Structure 1
Amino acid sequence: MAEAGPLPLDVPAPACGLFEGGWYRLQARLHGVSAAGLRLCLLVEDAGPPCADEACVSLPPVRADARVQALVRLRMDTHALRLGIPGHADAGVRAQVRLRRIGKRRALAAMLADLARQAGLGAALYLALGVAWRLRRGLRAAGDWAYAQYRQRLGAPPDPYAGWLLARALDPHAQPAARARRLAALPARPRVSILLPVYAPPLDWLRACLDSVRAQIYPDWELCIADDASPAPQVRALIEDYCRRDGRIRAVYRARNGHIAAASNDALALARGEWVALLDHDDLLAPQALLEMVRAAQAHPHWRMLYSDEDKLDADGRRCDPYFKPDFDGTLLLGQNCIGHLAMYRADLLREVGGFAPDVDGSQDWDLALRCIERLQHDEIGHVPQVLYHWRAHAGSSAADPAAKDYATTAARRAVQRHLERTGQMARAEILAPGRVRIHRALPSPLPRVSLIVPTRDRVDLLRPCVEGLLHATDYPALEVLVVDNGSVEAQTRDYLAAIARDARVRVLCFDAPFNYSAINNFAARQASGSVLGLINNDIQVIAPGWLREMVAEALRPEVGAVGALLLYPDGRIQHAGVLLGIGGVAAHPWCGHPADSDGQMGRLRLAQELSAVTGACLVVRREAFDAVGGLDAALPVAFNDVDLCLRLRAAGYRNVWTPHARLVHAESATRGPDTDPHNLARLRREADFMRRRWGVLLDDDPAYNPNLSLDGEAFALATSPRPRARGEWMVLGGQIELPPSAG
């Protein structure tokens, strides 16, 4: 092993100075502190614009003997590797590390041995059988599947959320004295009415729920209980006991069971507060819940509706399964109830919309949120990025199993469909899965013309399947394909370009200048005839005919700027699922390398949603929006130009949308090649510096990416500590965002 050094630690390179892509056996020994259970990762320092999960390879937890041993795969050649702890620049840990290259068969044997030792013989047998089944599709496919399973089993500590909660409990900000100071500093203390519909809960759970309200640090609340004719008399007796003990608790008792919406309306009728919060009879509020919600509401006096993050309580009362939510996302809300709990509304807003609808029981909160946002501006809806609500996950609850209440999903589809109709959207809501809805948006007639711009230079082996897919495997007839030739020299390429130019839907344009992705696309956009533009890499392959219909339908929404797709590697793994800001310094692609059927965080990989940026490898945008922000910036010739375009669209008031319902294959910049030679690395650093100068702290405050999630390494890992929110505003209305001068 190499001599011990402090983490992060450079991994000694081979004599040739290059770690070639392939399989490696990593062994490390840690010194200095109790290292057992620490999570390490192998950082790929020069991987180009980072695919987050490939740029930070998670390793198994450090063993009790302070050692870690793992198999890692490098997808491409790299000059620099570092061993580190995500979120820690200096953890006081020293390490010795050895990285040894091995072949494919030895890699498979190492995976089996590691799984047998750390996860049991059953896990190893499952892996062996799965590999045997997939070998008929080739060794590469079997190896990809095996490595994904291996990383899933061994690449993360047993319960990262438990460690995160411990760190939060020790935070001085969470101590009673600090919370008391925040309470005393409030300029006003409005009353919060908590609505609690009750029907036949286990008494212990109801008692715990009521106790969590009485334990609130913020004292100016009232609890409005509506018992929905619970059959057991002990329920009423318990409620009456709490009413006697605390004058802030009031109750009404229904004579007949009317279900949750009716009971919630009865509770709302009791409310006398300026704000109304929603609580279920078997769940718990965090002690600081109302304090933090009121503080946030007073810091943003224009908010009329706000919501927090949440987690669950398992059967043993342990907190688990957190949902660190994005800031308000109206597109995602059509697919899932991402408002959830804790939700707090201005009381006048709830009365304005008529309270809870009686025919959507099971999804009444989702329906309420949809009806409220119809009366609000985007900036009147706030998000408090703290876990303030604990769902109880138990047998029969939707928190434990979304399929447990099929009627709730049916009601959700009905609620979403009505919202679409009320807001004049020509679209159809379809049940996608329990608790998830897909929106099918209608296209106008006649269809708007779409101009697909395909820059290329030679590599007819890539261009041919790309163009053939656009012309013959895409079921959108109103399109033109602009192939922009940037200096092709091969005879077969010129012959192919001449052949496709005979198709009336194709125009071949010549761009006789050094490669500049931004300038090439701007050049073609000026000559395009379509009202919708599509930026398409020449290594894109169509695998399903409806992809362009899906993207154009989203792009035609007047509030939408750029629309991105789900792009897969040729082996079927995820390559692009949108772009998150801040990871790797500027931006990265989450879920890169994961199986195509992954759900992602709380099912978001299955749902259309708003993201700050999407990849330019397959991007659709209305020409008017593209022109409004000046197109792509030629000062960014290769990297980050798509991210910059999306951020300028967002600053102009548009929202960028990513949809998983448009799937294509992308060979990942096969024409240009990887960013591993010194010239490309220097150019990449210049472009990253440009983005930092232009966008500054906004890159570290992506509204689609919760500040409790890490920017250091793997996307959606928990951050060591929450990031401060940026002082700037994303939505710039009636003004201009200051940008440095462009280079062209």
Structure 2
Amino acid sequence: MTLSALRAPPALRRMAADRLSRTAGAAYRFLRKHPAIRRALRPIAQRVFPSLVSFHAAHIPRHDYEDWIARHDTLTAQDEVAIRADITRFPRRPLLSVVMATYETPERYLRAAIASLQGQIYEEWELCVADDASSATHVARILDEAAAADPRVRVIHRPVRGHISAASNSALDLATGEWVVLMDHDDLLPPDALYELAAEIVAHPDAQVIYTDEDKIDDRDRRYNPYFKPDFDPDLLLGQNLLSHLTAYRRDLILSLNGFREGLEGSQDHDLALRATGACGPNAVRHIPRILYHWRQQTSRRSFSQSAMARCIAAARTAIAGHLAARGVEAAILPAAGIHHRIVFPVPDPAPLVSILIPTRNRADLLRVCLDGVLKRTDYPAIEVLIADNDSTEPDARALLKHVQSDPRVRVIPQPGPFNFARITNRVAAEARGEILLLLNNDIEVIESGWLREMVSHAVRPDVGAVGCRLLYPNGRLQHGGTALGVGRIGGHILTGARRDDYGPFGVLGLLRSASAVTAACLALRRDVWRQVGGMDDINLAVAFNDVDLCLKIRALGLRIVWTPFAELYHHESASRGPDQSGSNAERFRREEDFMIARWGDALLNDPYYNPNYTLKNANFSLATPPRHDRRHRTAPRPSTRLDNI
């Protein structure tokens, strides 16, 4: 009997998966209601978790999401009254032109899409529809009926099919509003979608582009798979269409760009997003962290982007290449995270000198592996290695330190005294000659040779202040994928324990992206940036959180922190000195924690790259109950999250 003969039927497998998901959800809800049990299990979970648990990309169990919707994303009659009252306080009411292209749209879906627009609480809108020569007679009939019944509906019937870009431009020609809102012909808007857009427009008159969170909807109008997005991230927009649904643009901005480009069908929205954000700049892009769009999926009728995926990917890469070329950037575009994209930025020629700073004490076994990878298995032509020896006493460590100095690229700089990571790093950085500084723990192990080239390619970019990388536990599970602020009071590594081949929710572990902070276990930055922020705080943050503090200071300069999954190394975390939260380290850890809260305050609760619909109880992209942001129409205050209660 073959193995395939023993496999359960698909229906049974789905039933088993659903039952397992429900069981896991029930266990999670039980632990959420019993914090004492959760705290008791936490030490065990932290030991077992990286070895046994994996995360599944873009997956929040349906029943959990449905429960969350019922509790936190369903408008009541009182909400509608409050929204209408808020609208009366607007100093102006911008007209929103909803642009839609139709083609052979199933009758039920088209009627539902129009009905969802007509059900908007904010009424200052117009629907601009271009039908792309549909042969199904019901399409024209429904559109003409809607136009006859509602003067806000404007329709043009194209005599010849031109595909989505041409049809969208025809619809755009009908628009008279200050803002253009993009909507597909079979999708749905929640009743407060246009109100939220209008309120954002009124509150932020300098905005040029606004986008929101989104989820999917099936044939039975059941919502699932929410995409709670980060605030605007130009690197993530290169990797995927971050803006997607729902997106609104100032009409004069779209017109200045000549609308949608023909020939890029399937990725015409991504192309427009790249060109528009490039034209207006990141400060004019606003994000509303609410689900304001339901994208219809799982139907018998597939969209162009689903049925012609290869063409859509090729069109996206054409759009990305054009965007980079317009900025004078020569970069390669490669596949990444399934259907997404990796941008390989160039390293200057000649390559800038990188000063690799490695604090160490004893543990020759770790340092030997680290240096072997850096000196013998790193494909980068210009490095110097500065080893900060913090009172090594073991004979094998002292022998290793003496031996490695025979390599002209290596210097050993004695740093005696109590362990103070920040002070040691500051002092050694002052001895560095490189244009780029690379902070590296002695318990890092190189996996592949191109890691440093990847990090330098981003560190030299003028809008980037620091670069972090993908760190794995020795068993191959994820240790560091960027830091989410506020988790564990200060910040936590996202999705710790994920499988090495797991891209994470919506590619978060497989794409270059911005982060609020990255770990100094392997961090690259320009020496001039280091000097501008004064290095690390070696008085108040001797050991813990000095990297988070460093990154926040860099961001205060207006520079971004980026994390790349394309530089990947092993990290034997704290193997040479032990954990921070045990023994004599615990008191010092708490002092440093309290100092960070005093210095940065609410900034630690408002990570722009970790959506407020995610909880701060962990960094696993779990739903926040309730969400960590207030609805703008709800004026009654609710208890705010306090850092000392997390």
Q: Please give the TM-score of this superposition, normalised by the length of structure 1.
A: 0.78
- Counterpart residue number, 1:655: 560
Q: 1:330 aligns with which of 234, 259, 263?
A: 234
Q: Quick one: structure 1 residues 179 and 538, their matched pair in 2 at CA, closer, same or farther if it must change by over 3 Å?
A: same
| 1:544 maps onto 2:452 in alignment | no
| 1:391 maps onto 2:295 in alignment | yes
- Counterpart residue number, 1:569: 473
| 1:666 maps onto 2:630 in alignment | no
> What one-letter code is carried by the residue in structure 2 that aligns with 1:379?
N
Cα shift at 1:502:
0.7
Cα shift at 1:301:
1.3
Alignment of 1:38-57 (within 5 A): none
Q: How many angstroms apart in 1 are the aligned matches of 2:578 and 2:307? A: 45
Q: How many angstroms apart in 2 are the aligned matches of 1:649 and 1:573? A: 29
- Counterpart residue number, 2:270: 366
Question: Secondary structure of 1:526's partner?
Answer: helix
Q: Quick one: structure 1 residues 99 and 353, their matched pair in 2 at CA, closer, same or farther if it must change by over 3 Å?
A: closer
- Counterpart residue number, 2:401: 497
Q: Quick one: structure 1 residues 173 and 413, their matched pair in 2 at CA, closer, same or farther if it must change by over 3 Å?
A: farther
Question: Secondary structure of 2:280's partner?
Answer: coil
- Counterpart residue number, 2:142: 238
Q: Quick one: structure 1 residues 329 and 100, their matched pair in 2 at CA, closer, same or farther if it must change by over 3 Å?
A: closer
- Counterpart residue number, 1:681: 586
Cα shift at 1:160:
1.3
- Counterpart residue number, 2:637: none
Cα shift at 1:400:
12
- Counterpart residue number, 2:5: none
Cα shift at 1:271:
0.4
Q: Quick one: structure 1 residues 704 and 400, their matched pair in 2 at CA, closer, same or farther if it must change by over 3 Å?
A: farther
The number of residue pairs the alignment matches comes to 609
Q: 2:24 aligns with which of 60, 63, 66?
A: 60
Q: Is the 8 A contact 1:197 1:281 kept in 2?
A: yes
Q: 2:625 aligns with which of 694, 704, 720?
A: 720
Q: Is the 8 A contact 1:367 1:416 kept in 2?
A: yes
Q: 2:157 aligns with which of 253, 256, 277?
A: 253
Cα shift at 1:396:
7.2
| 1:426 maps onto 2:390 in alignment | no
After the TM superposition, which of the residue ranges 386-395 and 266-275 deviates more from structure 2?
386-395
Q: Counting helix residues as a fraction of each chain, which structure ranks higher?
A: 2
> What one-letter code is carried by the residue in structure 2 that aligns with 1:197?
A
| 1:601 maps onto 2:505 in alignment | yes
Cα shift at 1:513:
2.1
Q: Quick one: structure 1 residues 312 and 170, their matched pair in 2 at CA, closer, same or farther if it must change by over 3 Å?
A: closer
Q: How many angstroms apart in 2 are the aligned matches of 1:61 and 1:357? A: 45
- Counterpart residue number, 2:534: 630
- Counterpart residue number, 1:709: 614
| 1:321 maps onto 2:225 in alignment | yes
- Counterpart residue number, 2:14: none
Question: Secondary structure of 2:279's partner?
Answer: coil
1:631-657 C-alpha deviation (Å, 9 max, x unpaired): 111021111100000000001111000
Cα shift at 1:96:
8.0
Q: Quick one: structure 1 residues 435 and 293, their matched pair in 2 at CA, closer, same or farther if it must change by over 3 Å?
A: farther
Q: How many angstroms apart in 2 are the aligned matches of 1:386 and 1:494? A: 57
Question: Secondary structure of 2:263's partner?
Answer: helix
Q: Is the 8 A contact 1:632 1:641 kept in 2?
A: yes
- Counterpart residue number, 1:3: none
Q: Is the 8 A contact 1:427 1:441 kept in 2?
A: yes
| 1:183 maps onto 2:83 in alignment | no
Cα shift at 1:100:
10
1:60-82 C-alpha deviation (Å, 9 max, x unpaired): 344xxxxx6x9xxxxxxxxxxxx
Q: Is the 8 A contact 1:60 1:157 kept in 2?
A: no
Q: Quick one: structure 1 residues 346 and 456, their matched pair in 2 at CA, closer, same or farther if it must change by over 3 Å?
A: same
| 1:585 maps onto 2:463 in alignment | no
Cα shift at 1:397:
7.2
1:369-427 C-alpha deviation (Å, 9 max, x unpaired): 11011111321100001100000003577789857522111100110011000011121
Q: Quick one: structure 1 residues 174 and 304, their matched pair in 2 at CA, closer, same or farther if it must change by over 3 Å?
A: farther
Q: Quick one: structure 1 residues 240 and 309, their matched pair in 2 at CA, closer, same or farther if it must change by over 3 Å?
A: same
Question: Secondary structure of 1:591's partner?
Answer: coil
Q: Quick one: structure 1 residues 404 and 669, their matched pair in 2 at CA, closer, same or farther if it must change by over 3 Å?
A: farther
Q: 2:286 aligns with which of 367, 370, 382?
A: 382
Alignment of 1:518-533 (within 5 A): 518-533=422-437
> What one-letter code is carried by the residue in structure 1 that aligns with 2:602?
V
Q: 2:413 aligns with which of 509, 518, 530?
A: 509
Q: Quick one: structure 1 residues 59 and 660, their matched pair in 2 at CA, closer, same or farther if it must change by over 3 Å?
A: farther
> What one-letter code is carried by the residue in structure 1 that aligns with 2:322?
R
Q: Quick one: structure 1 residues 85 and 267, their matched pair in 2 at CA, closer, same or farther if it must change by over 3 Å?
A: same
Question: Secondary structure of 1:252's partner?
Answer: strand
Q: Is the 8 A contact 1:173 1:179 kept in 2?
A: no
Q: Quick one: structure 1 residues 173 and 665, their matched pair in 2 at CA, closer, same or farther if it must change by over 3 Å?
A: farther
Q: How many angstroms apart in 2 are the aligned matches of 1:94 and 1:453? A: 42
Q: How many angstroms apart in 1 are the aligned matches of 2:194 and 2:453? A: 45
Alignment of 1:115-194 (within 5 A): 147-148=52-53, 159-169=63-73, 175-194=79-98
- Counterpart residue number, 1:474: 378
Question: Secondary structure of 2:442's partner?
Answer: coil
Q: Is the 8 A contact 1:398 1:404 kept in 2?
A: no
1:216-245 C-alpha deviation (Å, 9 max, x unpaired): 111010000011111112211111111111
Q: 2:546 aligns with which of 622, 641, 649?
A: 641
Q: How many angstroms apart in 1 are the aligned matches of 2:508 and 2:523? A: 20
Q: Quick one: structure 1 residues 519 and 387, their matched pair in 2 at CA, closer, same or farther if it must change by over 3 Å?
A: same
> What one-letter code is carried by the residue in structure 2 that aligns with 1:326?
P
Cα shift at 1:525:
0.8
Q: How many angstroms apart in 1 are the aligned matches of 2:145 and 2:170? A: 20
Q: Quick one: structure 1 residues 658 and 145, their matched pair in 2 at CA, closer, same or farther if it must change by over 3 Å?
A: closer
> What one-letter code is carried by the residue in structure 2 that aligns with 1:689?
D
- Counterpart residue number, 1:47: none
Q: How many angstroms apart in 2 are the aligned matches of 1:96 and 1:389? A: 38
Q: Is the 8 A contact 1:264 1:356 kept in 2?
A: yes
Question: Secondary structure of 1:446's partner?
Answer: coil
| 1:276 maps onto 2:276 in alignment | no
> What one-letter code is carried by the residue in structure 1 that aligns with 2:174?
L
Q: Is the 8 A contact 2:97 2:127 kept in 1?
A: yes
Cα shift at 1:722:
2.2
Cα shift at 1:321:
0.3
| Gapped regions of structure 1 (runs ≥ 5) | 1-36, 40-57, 63-67, 71-82, 104-139, 726-744
| Gapped regions of structure 2 (runs ≥ 5) | 1-17, 631-646
Cα shift at 1:594:
1.3
Q: How many angstroms apart in 2 are the aligned matches of 1:416 and 1:630? A: 36
Please report the RMSD computed on the Cα atoms of aligned residues, expressed in angstroms. Answer: 2.9
| 1:224 maps onto 2:138 in alignment | no
Question: Secondary structure of 1:358's partner?
Answer: coil
Q: Quick one: structure 1 residues 410 and 433, their matched pair in 2 at CA, closer, same or farther if it must change by over 3 Å?
A: farther
- Counterpart residue number, 1:694: 599
Cα shift at 1:297:
1.5
Q: Is the 8 A contact 1:410 1:431 kept in 2?
A: no
Cα shift at 1:661:
0.6
> What one-letter code is carried by the residue in structure 2 that aligns with 1:662?
A
Question: Secondary structure of 1:187's partner?
Answer: coil
Q: How many angstroms apart in 1 are the aligned matches of 2:503 and 2:602? A: 30
Question: Secondary structure of 1:374's partner?
Answer: helix
- Counterpart residue number, 1:18: none
Cα shift at 1:605:
0.9
Cα shift at 1:255:
1.1
Q: How many angstroms apart in 2 are the aligned matches of 1:682 and 1:95? A: 23
Alignment of 1:396-407 (within 5 A): 405-407=309-311
Q: How many angstroms apart in 2 are the aligned matches of 1:468 and 1:201? A: 61
> What one-letter code is carried by the residue in structure 1 that aligns with 2:206?
H
Q: How many angstroms apart in 2 are the aligned matches of 1:96 and 1:536? A: 38
Q: Is the 8 A contact 1:396 1:405 kept in 2?
A: no
> What one-letter code is carried by the residue in structure 2 that aligns with 1:671?
S
**Sequence identity percentage:** 45
Q: Is the 8 A contact 1:336 1:436 kept in 2?
A: yes
